[in-house]
Structure 1
Amino acid sequence: MFELLLIMLERLGLIVMLAFIATRLRFFRDMLSPAAPTKKQEYTAILFFGTFGIIGTYSGVTFQAEPFQLERFTTGILNTEAIANFRVIGVVLAGLFGGYKVGGAAGLMAGGHRMLLGGFTGFACGIATIAAGIFAAWFRSRNPGVTSRPLHVFAIGGAAEMMQMGLIVLLARPLADAVTLVQHIAIPMILANGVGCALFLLIIKSVEREKEKAAALQAQKVLRIAEQTLVYLKSGLTVQSAGHVSLILYKELKLKGVVIKESSRTLAEIGGKSDSMVTETLSSRLHTIGTVGFYFHSNVTALQKETLSGLVKLLNSQLELAEADKLYNLAQDAEINALQAQINPHFLFNTLNTVLSLIRIDPEKARAALRSLSKFIRHNLQSTTEDVHTVSDELEHIKSYLSIEQIRFEDRIKVSYHIEENCLDTALPALTLQPIIENAVKHGFKRKSGQCELQINIRQSNEDVHIYIEDNGTGADPEMMETLTSCPGNSTDGNGIALYNINKRLIMTFGRSCGLQFSSKPGSGMTVSFKIPSTFHYIRKDSFIYEADD
């Protein structure tokens, strides 16, 4: 018995080596995929494990009970002989990994072969082999996680051999030879096959861990590349971005060369060329953008192809985001221009009527009004081609507007400017301040008798420039202030939408925290305030400092 155990453990090393070689093959790795197996994979598994069971038979030791005799190699078998073998290993694993269909079919294949070999235990061993595959599949159905527990698999392999020993005693004849055979081979076969099943499982688990590790490393590499390329592909696929991306791909993937093309035009090329090349398409949902070619030092593996496919999908997603961002910015710019175009000098005709009246009464005032109107209109025309103005430009515009309104209000408007010099270069959306002033004049001073006062305060605080426009007009109730920026008004002169548009432009340009803020009580005037980032500067054309008008 001890001699037989040593021989079987020795042969077990051969079985384990064959198992290790099998796990290196691609079809075996695909067969172990956690996804539901295809018909082809099932047939492949039956053929593999059935063949493995047959190899287990031939790698066994031929045994003769009377007189007791061992033969180290099985080439043929007499009616009085039996085989101490490893057939159960392949069949048990077929049942554990493939279920009833694979386990039963592999058992039928290996068991049928054993019956054809003959010997007084041939029929019993064949039946036991089929039963082993079904038994393993049944155990798997009751314990789905059994394939991750080597000790359980050892017990299943040993139990399958114990079942075989029982069937030999029940079915093999002569009974005396069967009993003698079981007495000599039972323990060695139970131990050897149990250990073999557990070792095979450990090898399979090592393959799975290797796959997981390789996948994790590839995923980590792909994400690292995606993180590095994101900053460059934000602007889309250009010569500059393609150059940076190709260099990143070249270094991270350790390629022989990379080429990025847009149609037939080469945007970037780095390294050399080789016969081992993979070309992937760069595209968005709307159209094909270009191609990227990867040159390898040696033949391309399936894992490398899969990695490149996943990587290019991420690059395509980045290009789609860049395109979507570009479309969003275009739409945002178009909306800002549309909002800006709505803010026109609504008082134009009233001003012209005032000038007509002054020509006879006070020609000098009429000329001054026309000069101010000319500046005002010129500033409005410039704003159609300029998205932003400096605070200095906006104040010039305000002065032109208020000069005209002073004439209409018969000098009842007093304006005070409190402007910090360092704020004059700060940029803000064009035509922002004038409509706020116009709103104060038209609505705040509309029913006010006596002196009308306006205060314009602009100062810097920390990282922001704060702008306050305060009047002593009739003010507004809380309900009115709540609707000023929530929806456009319906006034025929256009002023109803002015504050709404300004608020929306400020938010779209600088963010929600920079929208208009209102403070007012009925009869006590109103203060309109907002802030803009002080770091957003334009170069000032002319120095401009306001002082209070006399």
Structure 2
Amino acid sequence: MWGRGRYAQHLGRPLTWFGCYLRWLPLVFISWIAVVYAIRLGVYAMADRTYEHPGWGFVIVYESLKLTYFSGLWLGVLFGIESFGQWQLQWRRLLQTQKALAEAQLAHLQGQLRPHFLFNALNTISALMHTDVVRADRLVAELGDLLRVSLRSNEHEMTPLADELRMLELYAGIMLERFRDRVTLDWQVDRTLLKTPVPSLLLQPLLENAFKHGVEPTVVHVRIMVSVRHEADSLEVVIRNSGSRLAPEQRDGVGLRNCRERLGIIYGSAASLRVDNGDDGVAARIAIPMGDAAP
């Protein structure tokens, strides 16, 4: 009768929950009084003594009040235990639901990036198709390598920094073919950080923006620098291009918005993405905590 969980479905309605147990009290009163006083009277009888007690009316009222008091205390403890157990169960279910929703959102965001950068890469190849067939053919082969790496990264949301930089190099190779003699790309990477896990396809939109907004609109030579270093407790990645400036009213495009949302889902407020004007151009700066991702 007092087993834990028997009336767990009524925990949201405490009065109903208590009522389910307290309805048995009259039967408990009768059974308790009958058994206890039968034992007492029997023990005294075996000792040739007479057990004296108040009148049965008083006994029934007194024992009933005593049992009600102790039953209330016990039910209060039991209610607290069961409520805590239900809260833990609901909390675990909520966390599982939130995790599933986050994973679905991440998969959606990641899926947005692939056709986006594939379209831009194909656009680059089509621009060369009628002017330099050899270069266009080479770009198609490089795009195939890039897609193979990208498809492998689709298996996991997180990937080692080394793999992310490899994909970035393949993408950069395609863009350098397109803007040959107009851009220089420098890499400054702390190689001790290459095993650090980062979200896959996180950096490609930033490098794409450097080419799109820094190189494509101008005919002057542009310098792009990719810097990876350990800053305080964070992994800091900076992609900086010379020549261009951010307009005050400029808004985030699909790539930047996608990156911000993914960082927020995985790391919460511990990660950041800033894009601002520097001394000689625009810098996109990502800071990722070196510890685990936020729950």
Instruction: Identify whether the pair has TM-score above 0.5, normalized to the shorter chain.
Output: yes
Question: Which structure 1 segments of 5+ residues have no match?
Answer: 1-275, 287-298, 485-495, 538-550
Match of 2:167 in 1: 397
- 2:262 paired with 1:505: yes
Match of 1:356 in 2: 129
Structure-2 change in CA distance of 1:385 and 1:450 (3 Å): same
CA distance in 2, matches of 1:474, 1:331: 38
Match of 1:279 in 2: 4
Structure-2 change in CA distance of 1:527 and 1:284 (3 Å): farther
Question: Which structure 2 segments of 5+ residues have no match?
Answer: 13-31, 33-66
- 2:220 paired with 1:463: no
Match of 1:530 in 2: 286
Counterpart among 116, 133, 141 of residue 371 in structure 1? 141
CA distance in 1, matches of 2:111, 2:9: 37
State whether residues 284 and 320 of structure 1, in contact with CA within 8 Å, keep that contact through their aligned partners in structure 2.
Answer: no
Q: For 2:273, give the aligned amino acid.
A: L
Structure 1 position 427, deviation (Å): 1.1
Structure 1 position 362, deviation (Å): 5.5
Map Cα deviations across residues 310-356 of structure 1 (whole Å, 9 max, x no partner): 21012101211111121111111111111111112221432442463
Map Cα deviations across residues 252-297 of structure 1 (whole Å, 9 max, x no partner): xxxxxxxxxxxxxxxxxxxxxxxx85232456999xxxxxxxxxxx
Structure-2 change in CA distance of 1:510 and 1:455 (3 Å): same
State whether residues 355 and 370 of structure 1, in contact with CA within 8 Å, keep that contact through their aligned partners in structure 2.
Answer: no
- 2:240 paired with 1:515: no
Counterpart among 197, 201, 217 of residue 447 in structure 1? 217
Match of 2:51 in 1: none
Match of 1:346 in 2: 119
CA distance in 1, matches of 2:225, 2:113: 22
Q: For 1:356, give the aligned amino acid.
A: M
CA distance in 2, matches of 1:464, 1:284: 48
Higher mean alpha-carbon deviation, 389-398 vs 349-358, is at 349-358
Structure 1 position 474, deviation (Å): 1.5
SS at match of 1:389: strand
SS at match of 2:119: coil
Match of 1:79 in 2: none
State whether residues 128 and 178 of structure 2, in contact with CA within 8 Å, keep that contact through their aligned partners in structure 1.
Answer: no
Match of 1:434 in 2: 204
Structure 1 position 467, deviation (Å): 1.0
Trace 1:226-265 onto structure 2 (pairs within 5 A): none
State whether residues 355 and 369 of structure 1, in contact with CA within 8 Å, keep that contact through their aligned partners in structure 2.
Answer: no
SS at match of 2:181: coil
CA distance in 1, matches of 2:219, 2:234: 36
Match of 1:72 in 2: none
CA distance in 2, matches of 1:502, 1:446: 22
RMSD of the TM alignment (CA)? 2.7
Match of 1:52 in 2: none
State whether residues 146 and 167 of structure 2, in contact with CA within 8 Å, keep that contact through their aligned partners in structure 1.
Answer: yes
Match of 1:192 in 2: none
Q: For 1:315, give the aligned amino acid.
A: G
CA distance in 1, matches of 2:292, 2:95: 21
CA distance in 2, matches of 1:322, 1:284: 20
Map Cα deviations across residues 25-45 of structure 1 (whole Å, 9 max, x no partner): xxxxxxxxxxxxxxxxxxxxx
Match of 1:304 in 2: 74
CA distance in 2, matches of 1:526, 1:504: 21
Match of 1:478 in 2: 248
CA distance in 2, matches of 1:421, 1:450: 32
Q: Identify the structure with bigger relative contact order (alpha carbons < 8 Å, sequence gap 6+).
A: 2
Trace 1:12-411 onto structure 2 (pairs within 5 A): 278-281=3-6, 302=71, 303-344=73-114, 345-354=118-127, 356-357=129-130, 361=132, 363=134, 365-411=135-181
**TM-score, structure 1 length as denominator?**
0.39
Structure 1 position 368, deviation (Å): 3.0
Match of 1:82 in 2: none
CA distance in 2, matches of 1:510, 1:473: 32
Match of 1:240 in 2: none
Q: For 2:164, give the aligned amino acid.
A: E
Structure 1 position 527, deviation (Å): 0.5
SS at match of 1:346: helix
Aligned residues: 233
